[in-house]
Amino acid sequence: MLREAHGPSEEQLGFVRRLLTSESYLLSEHLHRLDPEARHRRFGHDVSDDFITRYASHAGDFGNVTFGYFVEGELRAVAELRPDNLMHGAAAEVAFSVEKPFVNRGIATQLMGRVIRTARNRGLRHLILVCMPDNAKMQAIARHYGAELKIEDGSVIADIVPKDPDYQSWVGELLDERMTYLHSALDLQKRVRGSAEL
Ligand SMILES: CC(C)(COP(=O)(O)OP(=O)(O)OC[C@H]1O[C@@H](n2cnc3c(N)ncnc32)[C@H](O)[C@@H]1OP(=O)(O)O)[C@@H](O)C(=O)NCCC(=O)NCCS
């Protein structure tokens, strides 16, 4: 189900929530919808459709957390948190993708805030983001959250050091998590209704 996006109208606000393991097919559909340049920037090199399908099937692997931005039940932007096993659970890598009609609306910035809160609550000491040197937008978002940037092997590496968790970060995640399953069901309903209308 690869429905085209036409960009949200003002009243069509999106909603950020965690992606369930059973929804990894939505990640696959979203990544397939990225245009070639965004796909290249997301993975740091060109990747095939098959690669994306295989990659997305691992979304629910142990320790991975994916946040999605949903508009009318469709996943239009994603932030993926993947533990860095070499750092023994102390660090995770984060990656972003936003479909073209939805860029420059602060969505990746919003998703980054959610990822940082999750990193805090899991006691992560470093959140690492790798992007291409000319990816000024991604670097602006990382700087916005206090990242230190350095160049390594032709890539820009941003290191965000999350604060310790506090009452607000715990309760915030708990309250959002309570609504995840309800919103997942509502999003499914919207997608089913949307495809019936096509
Ligand atoms: C990079 C990407 C994630 C940004 O998503 P987005 O939702 O458009 O980003 P936002 O609207 O939240 O924020 C854009 C930021 O870039 C800044 N910006 C916009 N255009 C810019 C430019 N030409 N130069 C520098 N900064 C720019 C904005 O001011 C904003 O920064 P701020 O939050 O400090 O104000 C999106 O374009 C994308 O998916 N690109 C392809 C995949 C990718 O590059 N992933 C990153 C590697 S994992």
* Residue located nearest, by CA, to atom 12 of ligand 1: 106
The domain ranges of the chain are: 18-197
- Cα(124)–Cα(130) distance, rounded to whole angstroms? 17
Do the bridges between strand 65-71 and strand 91-98 make them parallel or antiparallel, or are there none, so unpaired? unpaired
Contact 6, 100 (CB under 8 A): no
| CA–centroid distance, residue 94 to ligand 1 (Å) | 14
Name, in order, each residue with C-beta under 8 angstroms of 107's C-beta and a sequence gap of 6 or more.
14, 69, 76, 77, 98
* Residue located nearest, by CA, to atom 9 of ligand 1: 108
pLDDT at res. 80: 98
pLDDT at res. 94: 97
| CA–centroid distance, residue 105 to ligand 1 (Å) | 9
pLDDT at res. 1: 43
Per-residue tens of pLDDT for the chain, all 198 residues: 444 455 555 545 899 999 999 999 999 999 999 999 999 999 999 999 999 999 999 998 888 999 999 999 999 999 999 998 766 679 999 999 999 999 999 999 999 999 999 999 999 999 999 999 999 999 999 999 999 999 999 999 999 999 999 999 999 999 999 999 999 999 999 999 988 887
CATH of domain 18-197: 3.40.630.30
pLDDT at res. 7: 54
